Chains A and B, each alone.
Chain A
Amino acid sequence: MGKTQHHERDLLRLATAGSVDDGKSTLIGRLLYDTKSVLADQLAAVERASVARGGAVVDLALLTDGLRAEREQGITIDVAYRYFSTATRAFVLADTPGHVQYTRNMVTGASTAELAIVLVDARKGVLEQTRRHAAIAALLRVPHIVLAVNKMDLVDFDEATFRDIAADFARYAADLGVRDVQAIPLSALEGDNVVDASTRTPWYDGPTLLAHLEDVPVDRDPTTEAFRFPVQVVIRPRTPEHPDYRGYAGRVASGVVRVGDEVVVLPAGGRTRVVGIGTADGELTQAFAPQSVTLRLADDLDVSRGDVLAPADAPPVTGSDLVGTVCWLSERAPAPGARVLVRIGTRTVRGLVRGVGSRLDIDTLTVDEDATSLALNEIGTVHVRLAEPVVLDAYAEHRRTGVFLLVDQADGSTLAAGMVGPSVLVAAPEDPERCRAR
């Protein structure tokens, strides 16, 4: 067994942002098509649909529009997930709509992404919408951004046009605190620099889009992160083979845990030691993010779902006052005094909305300090008083654990997605007027 196709590939999650007009669907269609991820029957279906709509050429955008209403209206409504792979890496692409009213979808796609592709039309350059997409990617701390300058064929592959757009965006990205930006001139429609290097951009010596996606580092170094382990379920078989087994199942959210490590159980604060790390495939001496394992502890403490195990010598902060930056996802505005459920890690606690602190204007990156409410798709800070303390890891340092949901108590709908901390947009000190968000 096991001699065929055994590439030990890793996985990159990425998100795309842009509107239909920027050619986003065409770009994704091109990535799928040129990596041979589109199969004959899918292509045949797209050809039939293209002909039915009176198109002369096969519209690769039709590969990505899944719902009836989307095809009928020619728009993308919802986040769609696409899969393609090369010999060295598999990709999960969250295709997010670029329309203003669907900000929540962009936040959703960016929440798990290690890389965001921001698409601009070479004829139009960096628009308000481009800035909005980049700001959301920065807000969610997506580590890598690709500026895909599309439709280069329509500006005769002009180097100066590309350089101007890239420089314009680089300034803006620096304001946002984004460290890794790669600008790529391309034509999704004609395939230039998407998978194959273009002969029409001799002045460009950077990677093609796919080459860049394959090269971006996805490896985190868990040894540099603080260990966090939200307990999901307690495993107690009570079978004849395992009468006394008691393990705490979960996924290492960040960092590394080793057998023998002293840990603290939060929020209660009991201390104990890890005596075993189990998986169905055998015992481990250490586990690291994002492995799913089952930990056994030296002492018989009261540990249950919702608790967090962390290093005893450097425990995280716990508290009952949650101040977070949220994207408001509901038509019901947050009202002071409203009762909500707060989902943080594997714990759900009751909370009382104390108020809205500020609202971020994502277009101008200015903060309205006098805001008292948030509307659907708006971003701002909220203060929620919690019924019991929880681990409060700031999102700026803890992208995996510093996140929470606000959930409607009555119907269970998700009201807001939040990041722990007053605001996670980085200010650029040299340009205080332009970027006042902190």
Chain B
Amino acid sequence: MRVAHMTTETTVTEFRAATAPRTLTQLETLESEAIHIFREVAGEFERPVVLFSGGKDSVVMLHLARKAFWPAPVPFMLLHVDTGHNFPEVIDYRDAVVAAHRLRLVVASVQDAIDAGSVRERPDGSRNALQTVPLLEAITTHRFDAVFGGGRRDEEKARAKERVFSLRDELGQWDPRRQRPELWDLYNGRHSPGEHVRVFPLSNWTELDVWRYIERERIDLPTIYYAHERQVFLRDGMWLAPGDWGGPRGAETVERRTVRYRTVGDMSCTGAVESEALTVDDVIVEVAASRLTERGATRADDRASEAAMEDRKREGYF
């Protein structure tokens, strides 16, 4: 991350030409807007937390949070909802980032929730939808009042209607018909005890914007975002990685393919795409040319029905 070598010692004159008043580029505008959002939350809430999965959107969020409060440390804890079906590379990445930036990480475990009986394993082995209960339990236990998520409005049509500051009731539910109007850049984070606010600093970013920003800022990502050889099997047109969660089954056969991941989630429902993209530049070319949305291509959970995401969001999902 470039933030690691930010310094106050740079000479003032060096930047004179670069900072003459002008129109900001799209990425500069998006960055400034996200930093503004992080600072608003720091100013208005008592106990904010950043959802951090090691996925690219959460990595970009953390990068922006570090820029927002520099040279002070990020004034928020991190929360990872661990499905128990993780890509080991992602967990390694998560732990390295937490250690490098001296952050505080809370892990909410789906396995613990299953063991405690608060959620039940689904027949298909997918734990993606099961994350909601441990997420809400962690929010209650730690009395988090603002929860940063990496959700983007371009991802999915229910998300296209999401506010930047999204109020959730005591049960963590989202009611799209009762959303507060959001005008100018005046975000209303008022809430009652027990309620919390989900905050989406990347609301106006697209997948391509995220990748271009990763390139511009030279942000490190978990290695599974780039092309690598992996044992995979085909299910419902997606390349899934075998694991204890329940694959392969029946006639599904494992083979070796060169793949990469466009999203990082529960192994049981996050598919890889065949790709030769080894670098950020390669990925940008690939994403720019892609004819499938990242969720459509690689998320079994969003294919369930036309309103799958809306239904999960109503229940308190990310």
Contact = CB atoms under 8 A, between A and B. Distances in A.
Contact of A40 (B35, B280, B292, B307): B292
B157 to A, nearest CB: 4
A69 B119 CA distance: 29
29 contacts: A2-B281, A11-B24, A41-B292, A66-B160, A68-B306, A79-B161, A83-B153, A83-B204, A85-B206, A220-B23, A233-B39, A233-B43, A237-B71, A239-B73, A241-B71, A242-B71, A278-B70, A278-B71, A280-B6, A280-B70, A282-B10, A282-B14, A288-B22, A290-B32, A291-B28, A292-B35, A329-B181, A346-B43, A417-B184
Contacts of B191: 412
Interface stretch (B83-91, B124-132, B172-180, B248-256): B172-180
Given A41-B293, A81-B153, A281 B161 contact: no
Interface in B22-69: 22-26, 28-33, 35-36, 39-40, 42-43, 66-69
Contacts of B121: none
Nearest to B162: A81
B29 A290 contact: yes
A329 B186 CA distance: 15
Interface in B98-156: 153-154
B71 A245 contact: yes
A404 B180 CA distance: 15
A42 B293 contact: yes
Contacts of B183: 107-108, 111-112, 403, 405, 417
Interface of A: 1-5, 8-11, 39-42, 45, 49, 64-69, 71, 77-83, 85, 89-90, 92, 104-105, 107-108, 111-112, 218-223, 232-233, 235-239, 241-242, 245, 249-251, 256, 259, 278-288, 290-292, 294, 305, 329, 341, 343, 346, 400, 403-405, 407, 411-414, 417
A293 to B, nearest CB: 9
Interface in B154-204: 154, 157-161, 176-177, 179-186, 188, 190-192, 203-204
B3 interface: yes
B19 to A, nearest CB: 5
A405 B186 contact: yes
Given A49-B306, A329-B181, A417-B181, A8 B32 contact: no
A273 B145 CA distance: 36
B145 to A, nearest CB: 12
B176 A67 contact: yes
Contacts of A45: 296, 306
Nearest to B287: A5
Contacts of B21: 221-223, 256, 286, 288
Interface in B196-235: 203-204, 206, 209, 212, 215-216, 218
B182 A108 contact: yes
Contact of A237 (B7, B11, B73, B160): B73
The CB with the most chain A CB atoms within 10 A, among B15, B71, B281, is that of B71
Nearest to B297: A41
Contact of B67 (A80, A280, A400): A280
Contact of B32 (A105, A223, A292): A292
B310 interface: yes
B12 A291 contact: no
The main secondary structure of chain A at its interface with chain B is mixed
A413 B186 contact: no
Given A67-B158, A280-B3, A286-B21, A39 B215 contact: no
A92 B72 CA distance: 32
A376 B285 CA distance: 48
Contact of A292 (B39, B181, B182, B291): B39
Interface of B: 2-3, 6-8, 10-16, 19-26, 28-33, 35-36, 39-40, 42-43, 66-73, 153-154, 157-161, 176-177, 179-186, 188, 190-192, 203-204, 206, 209, 212, 215-216, 218, 280-281, 284-285, 288, 290-293, 296-297, 306-307, 310
Contacts of B72: 235-239, 242, 245
Contacts of B182: 108
A10 B26 contact: yes
Contact of B296 (A10, A41, A249, A413): A41
Contacts of A412: 188, 190-192
Given A232-B43, A285-B19, A417-B184, 19 more contacts: A9-B26, A10-B24, A39-B293, A67-B157, A67-B176, A83-B154, A85-B206, A92-B204, A111-B184, A232-B36, A233-B69, A237-B72, A249-B68, A281-B2, A283-B12, A284-B15, A291-B28, A294-B70, A412-B188
A239 B71 contact: yes
Contacts of A219: 22-23
A82 B19 CA distance: 30
A4 B15 contact: no
A67 B176 CA distance: 8
Nearest to B178: A413
B41 to A, nearest CB: 9
Contact of A404 (B10, B12, B68, B186): B186
Nearest to B217: A281
A285 to B, nearest CB: 5
A72 B143 CA distance: 38
Given A92-B204, A280-B6, A108 B68 contact: no
A107 B288 contact: no
Given A11-B26, A414-B188, A39 B290 contact: yes
Contact of B29 (A11, A239, A343): A11
Contacts of B36: 232, 251, 292
Given A80-B161, A220-B23, A407 B184 contact: no
Contacts of B35: 251, 292
A66 B71 CA distance: 41
Given A67-B176, A280-B3, A403-B183, A232 B160 contact: no
Given A83-B204, A232-B36, A105 B23 contact: no
Nearest to A231: B43
B25 A8 contact: yes
A283 B8 contact: yes
Given A40-B292, A222-B21, A223-B21, A249 B39 contact: yes
Contacts of B70: 235, 278-280, 294
